[in-house]
Structure 1
Amino acid sequence: MALILALGFGRVTSNRIVIVGGGFGGLHLVRALERRLRPGEADVTLLDRNNYHLFTPLLYQVATGELPPHAVAYPLRQTIVREAKYRFVQTNVERIDLEAHAVDTADGRIPYDRLVLAAGSVTNDYGIPGVREHALGMKYLAEAQEVRRRILTSFERADVLPDPEGRRRLLTFIVIGAGPVGVELSASMRDLFDHSLRGSYANIDIDRDPSITLLDAGERVLATMDERLGRVAARRLEELRVDVRLRTPVSEVVDGAVRTKTGPELRASTIVWAGGVRDLARSAAGERTSGRGRHLPRGRAGRSPRHRRRRVRGMAGQTAGAAGAGRRSRGASARGESRPPHPRRADRTIRAQGQGRPRRARTHIGRSPAASLSVPDDAQGCRLCRLSCLDRLARELPDPAPRGAKPRKPADRVAPLLFHDTYGVEHSLA
């Protein structure tokens, strides 16, 4: 989630805008400010711990070798410094001083008049013991690379083992979380086994030795999406020989095993946690702010509650609005960062505050029911949505073509819902 904290009322003598986070929210806001602000109207600085923007919706393809790491890491200085002519600082934010209007970083203090927290989200382990110590995450570039290294290492080690049972133990993979990340990763792993690795290991039977188990505590896969898309995904996972176990909450993750609340211990050589994310602003803003002893209030799932004019509830004189990834709306997935943010609302709020104008209340207008099937929530290029699945999915959807128009082909009907380009990255159905 991203919060715009505009401290104080009315006009400001100088307009120093500091944006924390170079994810979707921060990067889109920079683009919006570049278009709307006149040269010299504001001094914009973006802070991020990395010097690249990570395109997380395709991170699972790095984990399975379909994409190289540089394909999902875009240099921030290209957009911020060279194109927008703003300032970028690679640093860690340590504290926000609300009273002094300053951000304390590992490299010094940066003052501001307008502060945008678009720090994104972090992995949510829900307090389950052993997740951090014994499971691999799927949130950062280094984690995706480690998943890929672990998969290939398991195959190399299994190929030299004479014991068939030992090979199967090494080639047992468990993915926890049947949301978009877990579903995409499981499908892509099976595709890696069946195509890229088949025939490369003489002692491994690709059809029998490797196994993938997908665990989730919910009632169905892709629970945050439309039920019809969940049914298509479940059928496709079954075709890919992925063992899906629903209503199986995890109680603990230990070295080489997952303990559940409903059954026996499940052993695996590689355990990947794809159970969801939580808002980074909960810790970055709610627990590390100072100034008159005030903390940002927390709402459901650690998000700071806001009303329609983008003010943080409970903080008089401070305005807040959505500009980033952690926002959830109907049809959004558990990986909140991939739903398109709303930088236009954020930059309009900033301009209205600087000019002393009241900001118009926002009214959310939901998309059509078919949009809740849109895989751009998390899965551009998802293996589940190749043309074979598009045909089946299209039969369950009404044709949105105008009355009297020529009916469109199933793939043409569904593709705009699944693969519309939000971030300037080209996606292919091939």
Structure 2
Amino acid sequence: MSNSLSVAAITLALRGLLDTAVPVLDTGLVGLQVTTRTPDAARTNVDGPSLNLFLYGTATNAGWSNLDSPLAVRPGESGFPALALDLHYLLTAYGAEDTDSTATSHRALGAAMSVLHDHPLLDGDAILAALPGSDVQDQVERIRISPVPLSVDDLSKLWSGFATQYRLSAAYVVSVVLIDSRRPTRSALPVLTRGPDDRGPAAVSGAGPAVRALVPPRGRAAVRLGEEVVVDGTRLTDPSTVFRLASLLPDPLPPVELQRRPPMPDEPADQVSLRILPLAEDPDALGRWAPGFVSVTALLTPPDLPVVVSNAVAVALAPLITVSPKATDGPAAPGSTLTVTCAPRVRSGQRVTLLLAGRQLAPTSLTQPDPASPTFADTPTTITFEVPDMPGGTYPARLRVDGVDSIPVTYAGDPPLPTFDPDQQVSVP
């Protein structure tokens, strides 16, 4: 398993290769020194010809960055990928004199480039001898040395960054160095059965259900407890389809699953209706629901087959409210208390305001029923507001919970026409 010594091992192995092979190739370069310093310090305490091998950059190797190590991870296991690096080196040659009048630096650079050309693969024994303990010589991928052409602009930027005078140089990339992750590999147990009763994977032909839109009754913006919401979509009429309604609160309530209402003779084939039970038929409605937005998802549940889940679409669930004193009880003087009950109950963290005469009133108190009370299941949330100083008149009251308003409208007559509900109006003297 290669480790963090790998980068240093590669640098020392390259230095050793140049230090050994260049004087053999060109006997006129006997005494050549090979350093691994920064370019501005390459000639410190060095008088004769020399080569400087500077690691000026590293880059993640895209081909190996997301692959498991073949030696560390077996089929069926998962591990953290190795750190795969490409090492970028700058090889610079120097002569016996700073002026290079004898062109010794050219001889040194030519010999060095020839050596690297003849050794495109870095020998594992040379890496081991350069720095024992890195184990990079045992990695599955061979380490290759490749020249990199640099433009005049690239060289200018490099040497400007080195803050020293430009010298004749050649660039190389050494790839790929794999530094194994130290995070543990997760090994799964062998598979004994494939699904229930070892029946293998289940295949279902055709597309699953899809929900396009949710349509509250009478074209309103929200649905209330006891009303029906129309689900418009495709492949929703299978008898095994159920609809899951889930609150969108940060701390949501358990989801509620509903069956479609029996279809009517003239009902469109791509629509189904869901009836949210009223309080009289669902004793737990105050605790199972919360005013605000609710997501609806269709679940196709064929027997002995996996569940197919549709997309989710949101619908607004409006609160049912009562107002005290309401307009028929007499006027509420400015500064007096206005009490509003909300069903289903408001949950912790929900934003509540009262819309009255074009104003948004913040609550003065919010009271939840005692869970130990025998009437807890039937008791809504009680919210109080202070009646503001405003012109006299009769105003519809709307409770807004997380952006969803109560519906202050009732329908009467034949045909039924909308009118403001007198039980949800407040009179101000």
TM-score range, shorter chain: under 0.3
Higher normalized contact order (CA 8 Å, seq sep 6+, divided by chain length): 1
TM-score normalised to structure 2 length: 0.20
Q: Normalized against structure 1, the TM-score is what?
A: 0.20
Larger Rg: 2
Return the structure number with greater helix share. Answer: 1
Higher strand share: 2
